[in-house]
Structure 1
């Protein structure tokens, strides 16, 4: 009976195993299917935890930095914020290359171990007698370095899914990432109940407070993630039709595995998709950065109001993104990934076009205080401070409105609240659509060969976009105002739409391009 059960488990799910038949092309045993999807879901969790690791401390970095090192200024804060993306940008190609030639457990476990160690270091940055800010810089940079495993995750999922499964899997990956970004600040808010003092474990000099508890949770979840990967993750690689392929990552090779299809990758499509991915992350990073200063300048909101209202808006956009991620899985089957990508950029362009100032109403001028609550002229770090300043720090919010130090406030019409909200909704539709479709198409263009290095470069381009986007918008907005800033953004998006039009026919799957599968 046992042998009969084993034989039944090894039988193909879809018909006869006769070579050349359609069933042979999509052959998969039940055991292989369950193992493959179990591994993919483990990586969904890894992606979720990676994004939580970034966002869970983002609201508390500035007050914690001020507490541990009085010499830290806003300029240094900018470096700490950027260090995560810099670390990820450096690590992504490295881990991607590693995953091409070795079992992917190795870079995943090493990267997660680095993140766990970095979170522990962050919890101890208060201990040294001096230079505490540099320890925090190193800790956040190492967390970003560990997050370079995103390239491995995307590469694995791309290699472990057929063309038919790819869009849905990539959408689920993005949904997990978005959920992590949404829930991270929620976890931070819950830990705020512990307070600044918290409790101290004197034996090991560990302080557990509102600043360290989130990273300690992150370290614990990282250890749990490592255990799950060690126990449950298996190497799987299938071709575009879903047949199991031989690959260097495989721990065991089966005699009925097929060889990876040969052919050249369309490098023009690869470069174009990297540019598209850079632009969409660049656009959203600058939008997130400008939301608070823009609303404070245009609507004379106080810091407290801006943090509350903009927090609600960004949270709503996160929920909207989750809905879009789920919806495009169905829509892509009807109109295709390329159409959704192009349509998403058009929606983003409309969103920023609506955001352009029109009319004869001008924002309230902040006459009394040149040290305004908007974006200063100096550093990226100061842009972020307005997001984190607690109203408890200053019960007298002081003057509000568009600061006199920004000359454009006198001649640039205000952006009405309805304009801003409609724009936010449209950008919230376009961004997730473009994000998922860009790296879904990218994975299909690359084909069944190991994608680690290519996914590493894609992740690195996204990291660079998250660094450059805030710097770009801070300088242009402060100097020239929203009309120039959003006009330039519209121009960038329009150029990207033109690029997509030029390469549209080349954005096809590897197997389709080589005539092995009909589109």
Structure 2
């Protein structure tokens, strides 16, 4: 299950820093708004699939939804490597490929529901932290693989017989497909199912003893729905702001520091990998701290740290970014006011234009975000996000209690997927038209409201067995 979570994470992160230049390469007509939808399509697919796979896992052996979902992920990863082949509408093929990769990654709900059912309440935080650590490991190695594959270059090697181009954009996706095949083999060979109650006593497998468990569940008290909804809301906010952070990284650094697309992909791949390493250490620390402080305190601290990370990103000072004038010479780009001007070059230019596009009016009056600000923000968000992630899942599983959690986990995963869908779309529009000051200011406001909400429901976020005094 840890490996399955790892591969789901790799499926998203291994191409996230290169989607924008790859999109421009295969379809120069694609603009910033479409970039937002391409990135969001992964999460939209996951949002649709998660409750379905969760429901499936409640009534059938979990091996079935796991194998089906990973098979879809493998096929979609191969499709991503071939989106350059059609003569037209290439951007829509990329959109479909990313949506199917997301649909295949809907097995996250199955994984977390299994772990919740296979651990006692005292083991839950540690197990959820382990899952999140493997998820973080996927975020580490995904961008790291992409950064390494930049050495292949944009041209790479072409196998004409099968219309396959192995380059810095397609090779990571094919590697993800290979890892998925390995995952399917291991699920058949190694995976076995177990289920225990909150005290750790074996109660059989839900998938094979539905009658006994149904009669037992009828006698159980109701789950606190206010706590359930609040947990979903807080998890949504956590994933929403992190999806914005991931999406904005490449365009922001290209605008602020005049990085070329290759440098931006490489440097942000390294930065995201470093954040992943930081997250692993955070998960190890969280497993120790949660025994002393409890999950709610850590969740509150994680949200406050995320707020600080985005607050630091607010522009200040009297130094302004370098302006990219190439788009002024091309009226179609000038009128588009989109990120596409990053990579569209005038016929008079032989090199790629860099800097903040003149079509984005805020470039002329918004101070540059210093590299020290950006890196400090990376560190703080890399600290706060993993804490919020693992505490949200842990609290949620404890709030639900001994009931089958497949559907519940499906809804939580869907909430996170909805956040990953809306986050890129929100930031692609707000950043292009309003600039970083408004974008990061709005995010600070959203996180601040979430902190107030958490304080209001703080006393209700307690384990099911504690609420009804079974433990």
Interval containing the TM-score (normalised by the shorter chain): 0.7 to 0.9
Residue 396 in structure 1 maps to residue 351 in structure 2:
yes
1:17 equivalent in structure 2: none
Matched position secondary structure for 1:356: coil
Q: TM-score, normalised by structure 2?
A: 0.86
* 1:127-164 deviation line (CA, Å, top 9, x unaligned): 55655544443332221111000111111111111111
Residue 164 in structure 1 maps to residue 122 in structure 2:
yes
In the alignment, which of 45, 50, 53 is matched to residue 3 of structure 2?
45
- 1:330 deviation in Å? 0.6
Matched position secondary structure for 2:403: coil
Residue 200 in structure 1 maps to residue 159 in structure 2:
yes
Matched position secondary structure for 2:197: coil
Matched position secondary structure for 1:241: coil
2:220 equivalent in structure 1: 262
Residue 473 in structure 1 maps to residue 430 in structure 2:
no
Matched position secondary structure for 1:240: coil
Matched position secondary structure for 1:339: helix
- Find the aligned partners of 1:115 and 1:311 in 2 and give their Cα distance: 22
1:343 equivalent in structure 2: 301
In the alignment, which of 61, 78, 81 is matched to residue 120 of structure 1?
78
Matched position secondary structure for 2:119: coil
Residue 427 in structure 1 maps to residue 385 in structure 2:
no
- Find the aligned partners of 2:138 and 2:208 in 1 and give their Cα distance: 30
- Find the aligned partners of 1:311 and 1:44 in 2 and give their Cα distance: 23
1:237 equivalent in structure 2: 195
Question: Taking structure 1 as reference, are residues 249 and 385 closer, same or farther at Cα in structure 2, changes over 3 Å only?
Answer: farther
User: Which has the larger Rg?
Assistant: 1
Matched position secondary structure for 1:103: coil
Q: Does the 8 Å CA contact 1:246/1:259 hold for their aligned counterparts?
A: no
| Number of equivalent positions | 461
Matched position secondary structure for 1:110: helix
Q: Does the 8 Å CA contact 1:93/1:151 hold for their aligned counterparts?
A: yes
- Find the aligned partners of 1:212 and 1:296 in 2 and give their Cα distance: 22
- Find the aligned partners of 1:93 and 1:384 in 2 and give their Cα distance: 35
* 1:138-196 deviation line (CA, Å, top 9, x unaligned): 33222111100011111111111111111111111111111112212333444555564
In the alignment, which of 436, 443, 463 is matched to residue 397 of structure 2?
443
- 1:83 deviation in Å? 2.0
1:362 equivalent in structure 2: 319
Q: Does the 8 Å CA contact 1:237/1:247 hold for their aligned counterparts?
A: yes
- Find the aligned partners of 1:419 and 1:71 in 2 and give their Cα distance: 33
Residue 141 in structure 1 maps to residue 95 in structure 2:
no
Q: TM-score, normalised by structure 1?
A: 0.79
- 1:479 deviation in Å? 3.2
- 1:121 deviation in Å? 3.3
- Find the aligned partners of 2:373 and 2:32 in 1 and give their Cα distance: 31
2:166 equivalent in structure 1: 209
- Find the aligned partners of 2:84 and 2:240 in 1 and give their Cα distance: 34
1:287 equivalent in structure 2: 245
Q: Please report the RMSD computed on the Cα atoms of aligned residues, expressed in angstroms.
A: 3.4
Unaligned segments of structure 1, at least 5 residues: 1-42
Q: Does the 8 Å CA contact 1:269/1:506 hold for their aligned counterparts?
A: yes
- Find the aligned partners of 1:69 and 1:302 in 2 and give their Cα distance: 19
In the alignment, which of 68, 71, 74 is matched to residue 110 of structure 1?
68
- Find the aligned partners of 1:190 and 1:301 in 2 and give their Cα distance: 18
In the alignment, which of 357, 372, 376 is matched to residue 418 of structure 1?
372
- 1:78 deviation in Å? 4.0
Question: Taking structure 1 as reference, are residues 343 and 130 closer, same or farther at Cα in structure 2, changes over 3 Å only?
Answer: closer
Matched position secondary structure for 1:172: helix
- 1:57 deviation in Å? 3.3
- Find the aligned partners of 2:239 and 2:335 in 1 and give their Cα distance: 23
Higher relative contact order (CA 8 A, sep 6+): 2
